[in-house]
Amino acid sequence: MKINRGRIQVTAALVGVLALGLAGCSSTGGSQDSGDSGGSGAVANTPKFKIAMITHASAGDTFFDIIRKGADAAAAKDNITYQYTNNDNAAQQATLIQNAVDAKVDGIAVSMPNASALQGALANAKAAGIPVVAFNAGFNDFASVGAVGYFGQNETIAGTAAGQRLGTESAKKVLCVIQTQGQVQLEDRCKGVATGLGTAGSVENIYVNGTDSAAVQTTLTAKLQQDKSIDHVITLGAPIALVAVQSLKEAGSTAKLATFDTNAELVAAVKSGAVEWAVDQQPYLQGYEAIDSLWLYLNNANTIGGGQATLTGPAFVDSSNIDAVSKYAQAGTR
């Protein structure tokens, strides 16, 4: 399947490090609130910087645990101390950004599902001379808020790829499950699915409360029982997919299930056949590059992507590559 990315720059998985010299374990990196994930490898012999990583993750979101694993690894290597905070309320996330500005951090890495709500705080960061890197969410807005880079996937491209694959699997009626209303990147995924599927079938969106698994299961079960024409379900997050597995069983539905994003349990579900495939945006890589790119910028004014987004996905995880992916999922990095 060929995807036209236009002028979007796609880089290799990891960029080369600066020739600034390495010294064995001269200091520690890692997250302040989760401890140093390094400690045994070489640490950059460069000034110690403090970075704030601020995301829109809701409590218990395992996807962002993978992002933090990548951030931990980069911070440990780069002699970076970073503080992770999160809030799924856009206004509260803006407050966290402002708190980081007030604390005079050296850099900010931020996910931006609602850039308009964060714009004021990010403008204050720019005015204070604090470089900002966006990741995971904010593909369409990172340049307008002054971010020096973006690491993630284009959700429309990813959704279109998923829709095209569903078309090759003879999908006729697809249920696209959106777990949080008002997040642009989730809406874009379902729109992309509809675009990719085209006239081969139809896509119906359903909204669920992603913070309440029992409610998600009840809503999906009722929908599947009510509409037997649904032959495919696609969810937008691994935890929702795992709930959908139970809903399909409870409803007695024969619909096939696919999802965006992974975690260890989801990889196991692909391996067992309960989930057909997953669209992987490589969250570990997003977290790693968010921290590492700020280190490059702070130490050498380097930027990545030439003013364009650096894509980390989409990639498909399915029966053809699940064994290779599985060992990394068990380590918490896929």
The reported pLDDT for the residue numbered 27 is 30
- Number of folded domains that form the chain: 2
- Do 138 and 177 have their domain in common? no
- Do 270 and 306 have their domain in common? no
| Domain annotation covers residue 329 | no
| Domain annotation covers residue 324 | no
The reported pLDDT for the residue numbered 215 is 98
pLDDT over 70 (residue 146):
yes
Residue from 131, 157, 135 nearest 146 by CA: 131
Give per-residue pLDDT as tens, 208-263. Answer: 999 999 999 999 999 999 999 999 999 999 999 999 999 999 999 999 999 999 99
The reported pLDDT for the residue numbered 42 is 81
Quick one: the chain helix, strand, coil %, rounded to 5?
40, 20, 40
| Domain annotation covers residue 75 | yes
Provide the whole-model pTM.
Answer: 0.83
Indicate the range of 36-50, 168-182, 234-248, 273-287 predicted with least confidence. 36-50
- Do 164 and 219 have their domain in common? yes
Dihedral sign for Cα atoms in the order 29, 30, 35, 36: negative
Spatial distance between the Cα atoms of 51 and 287, rounded to a whole number of angstroms = 12
Spatial distance between the Cα atoms of 205 and 105, rounded to a whole number of angstroms = 40
- Do 287 and 239 have their domain in common? no
- Do 126 and 275 have their domain in common? no
| Domain annotation covers residue 326 | no
Give per-residue pLDDT as tens, 81-124. Answer: 999 999 999 999 999 999 999 999 999 999 999 999 999 999 99
State which residues form the domain around 52.
22-153+282-314
- Do 111 and 179 have their domain in common? no
Per DSSP, which regions of the chain are E strands? 22-24, 42-44, 49-55, 80-86, 107-110, 132-135, 150-152, 173-178, 202-207, 232-235, 256-260, 278-280, 310-311, 315-317
The reported pLDDT for the residue numbered 41 is 64
| Domain annotation covers residue 6 | no
- Do 97 and 219 have their domain in common? no
The reported pLDDT for the residue numbered 59 is 87
The reported pLDDT for the residue numbered 330 is 87
The reported pLDDT for the residue numbered 182 is 86
**Number of C-alpha atoms within 13 angstroms, CB side, residue 68?**
25
The residue-averaged pLDDT of 169-176 equals 98
- Do 229 and 109 have their domain in common? no
- Do 165 and 146 have their domain in common? no
Q: Any idea what the CATH number is for the domain that residue 27 is in? A: 3.40.50.2300
Spatial distance between the Cα atoms of 144 and 155, rounded to a whole number of angstroms = 18
- Do 288 and 230 have their domain in common? no
| Domain annotation covers residue 299 | yes
